[in-house]
Amino acid sequence: MELGWRRWTVQEVILPEFQAFTVLAGWSAQTPPDFAIELHAGIMVGNVLMLLDLENADAGRIESEITAIPFVRFNRNITPALRLFVQLRAARVFTNPRWEFVDSSVGLSVDQKTPSWLKRILR
Amino acid sequence: MNLKRVISIASLLVLACFARGVQAQDDQHGWTGDELLTRGAGRLAEVFRTLHPVESWSNDRYSLRVLGSGLGGLHGSGPTVIVDGLPMPFYLFDRSMLEFIPVTPQEIDSVSFSTDRTILPLGIDADGIIRISTKRPFGWALNSSIGLINETGDPGPAIHQDTTLTNVDRSGPVTNTTLSYRTDSWFAQIGLNTDLYHLTDQEISGRQWLVFGAERQPVVTVFAPSARFVIDKNRVQLTSAGGLIRKKDHQFLEIAGWEWPNRQEWTWVKGEGSLSLSENVTAGMRWSLDDISIVNRDSKIELPGKIDIQDLRGESYVSFRLPAIAIEFAGGYQLHKLHQEGLAPVLDEKTRFGRVSAQMGSGNTTWKNVAQLSSGRSSSLQVTSLLTRVIKRGGRIRIKAGYSSGTREHLNSTLGLVSRGITFADLARDLRYEGNAIDSRELELGLFAVFEMSETSELWLELHMRNMAGLTIPDRIISQPFGIGPLLPQTNWSSGKTGWVFSRGLGLVDRSLPFTTTRLSYQFYHVSSEGDTVFWRHFTGYPRHRLNGSVTIQAPERISIFALASVASKWVWPEYQAPARRVRPASIDIEMTVSKGLFASRMHMAFSFLNLLDRDLGNHPAGVFEQFAMRIKLSTRLTSVNHAR
């Protein structure tokens, strides 16, 4: 699962700038953990809520649409709980016209044991 | 009664004397409720869309015109749905309203389909049958579900760049709730179905502007409470169901070319009661009441005056079951009242009908015949014959023949209503039919064969053809983009039309892999009008080639997956002329559903991806383009007894 927030600026004056809040859930396959670098590939699907920079009373200030994001991700363990990752994602937001973009990211991820209350819910 | 009719009925009875042993092998295709649960459908229409090889189409994502074998053409009435033995046609303006049928997808126990044109109890003329049986658990049972569809294509920030773009979110929630109680001898159920959706693409918004003189979202809502009661004792059986349907509609009338904003109220009661007089003799009654009222919503243009329709049917029957033959004699009466505000007084029509059904068999062979004579404003004779033979080494072959003659018109069809004086004001001002009811003839032949290749897979083949003569059908050419403003389509009805329709299919059902059902079907649909252009324009258009493949993977306690791919050749609407989009190119439509039972299957959650390839799918020149959409469905099922006995 992923929760996200981004601020988008636009080059065309006629379009308003906006903030995008995303809720994603997905599935991925990965190489066995024996390798020095793990490869993950999968797809995430969810919703993008767009909050446009308009006055509160303006119509169409909030827009919402489905998005699908295939991704590949390379992980390298630094410690058993800490990893360095490089990720490439191709996103399609199903607006009319369709809104597509590719993003790349590099970062650190930390593994935490799932709290017991969350385990119960997931089960 | 003329000599030909007497001979037809007499020959059925004489032939019955040669038969021995009775065996029923009626329906051609079947699905289990568990298999259909993997569709994640919130509406019956969403279930039926996936039942290949049952032909269907729609001009939107939420309603459906089921054609069955397709022999009735693109605008045919389609199969009649029978729910637990009670026919539920809900037929109005050339369409059976699936959304009015009081069945929720999660309570389906099984569905089967037969292509045969036949006569059902109460004299109902059925162009095929879809038979639904529902689950009836012992003790208390509470079922509920909620479904939402989010269709993609909202403009997002681009709405400020192009103001013609409109939001296209089109559905939800659709809810179903039933509460039931069952003992060994009776069953009672109350239910409530609700629906809400809207169609808001650019063309529909343009038509809305012309109807209302303002921007208006065409929101459609359905509110439908219903109740059912069954008594099942040794000698007495009674099934009765009733309900009230309120629909706020923006009803697309094919014949007008645009939407009619109206409110429909439909009160219905249907039932059957029987008493076993001896081991082999049963007598009973069947009844049906439909009270329909259609009123307008506020609009700029003048809309049709309020329409009231009452249809009451009742019949008595007696049936005999002997070793060689099962035979039923039925006689009944239909009273049909029609009135439109501001027009002539109430129109009463009374029809009497008599029917003989005989089913006989010898060893592996079954022969089923039905003959019905009706007399009222007009008279008709219908005869259908179905021969089924079980092949010794796995499989079966069924051969059918059907004949009908006389005036067989549906009183609630557009022609049926218009020919009785109903007018449509500004909605379709030129819609009139001055002619008289005209006799038509219909001959149908069909072959269906199943070959069991192993214990888990079977191959089927079907060939059907229908010859129609003396038909009265619409003759029209629509030369506007989507039938708007003063340039509404002009429709005349033309009589004496003749032609053939052929429907052929080949398919495979395989269950050899664990927990997996694979279905493949190919259909070829063909119209031959022998130069009759009106017949050709009205009947052709449906894709000639259709290929469907579906896989259902359903393991206990695991995630279930359903995937369906449909490939169709081009689709032509010859009644429409450019600039309307009269041709839909060849298309591929893929849908996929992932579902899981939760809390020991008391809850079921499903996510569906519709039009997964994100193609613009628009079947009808005036219909919407179906975009990629996601559906979420959550259902719960609570029972006081752990297992259905």
Q: Which pLDDT does position B139 carry in this prediction?
A: 95
Distance from the B155 Cα atom to the nearest Cα atom in chain A, whole angstroms: 5
The predicted pLDDT at position B618 comes to 84
Q: What is the pLDDT of residue B12?
A: 38
Cα→Cα distances B184→B82, B139, B251, B458, B637, Å: 23, 10, 43, 37, 21
Whether pLDDT at B5 is above 70: no
* CA closest to A10 among chain B residues: B157
Q: What pLDDT was estimated at residue B307?
A: 94
Q: Which of B154, B161, B627 sits opposite A15 (nearest CB)?
A: B161
Q: Label residue B337 exposed, middle or buried (CB < 10 Å: 0-12, 13-18, 19+).
A: middle
Average pLDDT rounded to a whole number, residues B437-444:
79
**pLDDT for residue A73:** 95
Q: Minimal Cα distance from B627: which residue of A?
A: A94
Q: Residues B338-347: what's their mean pLDDT?
A: 82
Angstroms from A123 CA to nearest CA on chain B: 9
A–B interface: beta-carbon pairs under 8 A = 56
The predicted model scores a pTM of: 0.88
Q: Are A120 and A113 in contact, with CB atoms under 8 Å apart?
A: no
Judged by CB atoms closer than 8 Å, whether chains meet at B154 and A15 is answered as no
Mean per-residue pLDDT, B213-235? 91
**Residue B90, beta-bridge partner list:** none
Contact A63 B153 (CB under 8 A): no
Q: Compute the distance between CA of residue A38 and CA of residue A58 in angstroms, rounded to an integer.
A: 48
- The range of the structural domain enclosing residue A43 comes to 2-122
Q: Would the pLDDT of B64 be above 80? A: yes
What are the structural domains, with CATH classification, of chain B? 3-639 (2.40.170.20)
pLDDT in tens, B550-595: 999 998 878 999 999 999 999 888 888 877 788 889 999 999 999 9
CB-based contact A18 B157, cutoff 8 Å = yes
Q: How far is A99 from chain B (nearest CA, A)?
A: 9
User: What pLDDT was estimated at residue B643?
Assistant: 54
B22 has pLDDT over 50: no
All residues at 6 or more sequence positions from B594 whose CB lies less than 8 Å from its CB, including other chains: B559, B560, B561, B606, B607, B608
Q: What are phi and psi of B123, to 5 degrees?
A: 70, 20
Spell out which residues of chain B touch residue A50, defining contact as CB-CB under 8 Å: 156-157
Please give the Cα distance from B541 to B586 (Å, whole number): 12
Indicate if the pLDDT at residue B290 is higher than 80. yes
Q: Which of B32-41, B480-489, B617-626 shows the lowest mean pLDDT across its residues?
A: B480-489
Residue B299 confidence class, pLDDT cut points 50, 70, 90:
confident
With a pLDDT cut of 70, the percent of chain B lying above it is 92
Between B27 and B303, the higher pLDDT residue: B303
Chain B residues 120-159 within an 8 A CB cutoff of chain A:
150, 152-159
Q: Mean pLDDT, to the nearest integer, of B65-90?
A: 91
Across the interface, whether the CB atoms of B156 and A63 are under 8 A apart is answered: yes
Identify the H or E element spanning B200.
none
Mutation site, A11, A95, A99, interface B, largest B CB count within 10 A: A95
B358 pLDDT band, cuts 50/70/90, is: very high
- For the segment B116-128, the average pLDDT, to the nearest whole number, is 87
Position B212 pLDDT exceeds 50: yes
Chain A interface includes B161 (CB < 8 A)? yes
**Which of B154, B165, B630 is the closest to A64 by Cβ?**
B154
CA dihedral B481, B483, B487, B492 (to 10 degrees): 120
In angstroms, the first-to-last Cα distance of chain A is 16
pLDDT in tens, B155-190: 878 877 777 677 766 787 999 999 999 999 999 999
CB proximity list for B353: less than 8 A, separation 6 or greater? B123, B315, B331, B332, B333, B334, B372, B373, B374, B375
Q: Output DSSP code: residue B60.
A: S
Tell me how far apart the alpha carbons of residues B586 and B543 are, in angstroms, rounded to a whole number.
8
Chain B residues close to A15, C-beta within 8 Å: 157-158, 160-161
A12 contacts B161 by C-beta, under 8 angstroms: yes
At residue B278, what is the residue type?
S
Read off the pLDDT of residues A45-77 as tens digits, 9 standing for 90 and up.
888 999 988 877 666 678 888 899 999 999 998
What is residue B482's predicted lDDT score, i.e. its pLDDT? Answer: 55
Report the range of poorest mean pLDDT among B148-152, B159-163, B254-258, B263-267. B159-163
d(CA B563, CA B608): 9
Side-chain half-sphere exposure of A77, counting CA atoms within 13 A: 9
**Amino acid B10: pLDDT:** 44
Mean pLDDT of chain B: 86
Structure tokens, B553: 């993977």
Contact list, B153 vs chain A (CB under 8 Å):
94-96
How many domains does chain A divide into?
1
- What pLDDT shows up at residue B407? 67
Find the farthest-apart pair of alpha carbons in chain B and give their distance in angstroms, rounded.
78
CB contact under 8 Å between B158 and A52, yes or no, is no
Q: Does B10 touch chain A (CB under 8 A)?
A: no
Q: Which residues of A touch B (CB under 8 A)?
A: 10, 12, 14-16, 18, 45, 47, 50, 52, 60, 63-66, 93-97, 99
Residue A94: which of B153, B159, B165 has the nearest Cβ?
B153
User: Using CA atoms, how far apart are residues B98 and B46, in angstroms rounded to an integer?
Assistant: 10
Range with the poorest average pLDDT among B117-131, B341-355, B483-497 = B483-497
Identity of the amino acid at B191: G
- Residue-wise pLDDT tens digits, B368-424: 888 888 887 777 888 888 887 777 667 778 787 777 777 667 888 888 888 888 888
Q: Which of A37-46, B24-33, B232-241, B249-258 has the lowest mean pLDDT?
A: B24-33
pLDDT tens digit string along B88-105? 999 998 888 998 999 989
Tokens 């032509």 correspond to what residue?
Answer: B572
ipTM: 0.74
B:591-630 residues touching chain A, CB 8 A cutoff? 614, 627-628, 630
Average confidence (pLDDT) over B306-328? 93
Res B169: pLDDT: 64
Could you write out the three-class secondary structure of B265-302? Answer: EEEEEEEEEEEECCCCEEEEEEEEEEEEEEEECCCCCC
Write out the DSSP string of B392-439: TTS-EEEEEEEEEEE----TTSHHHHHTTT--BGGGBTT----S----
B557 CB near a chain A CB, below 8 Å? no
Query: Does B346 have pLDDT greater than 90?
Result: no
Q: How far is A25 from chain B (nearest CA, A)?
A: 12
Least confident of B55-59, B130-134, B458-462, B585-589: B55-59
Instruction: Determine the length of chain A.
Output: 123
Counts for chain B of helices (H) and strands (E), in that order? 6, 33
Looking at residue B481, its pLDDT comes to 60
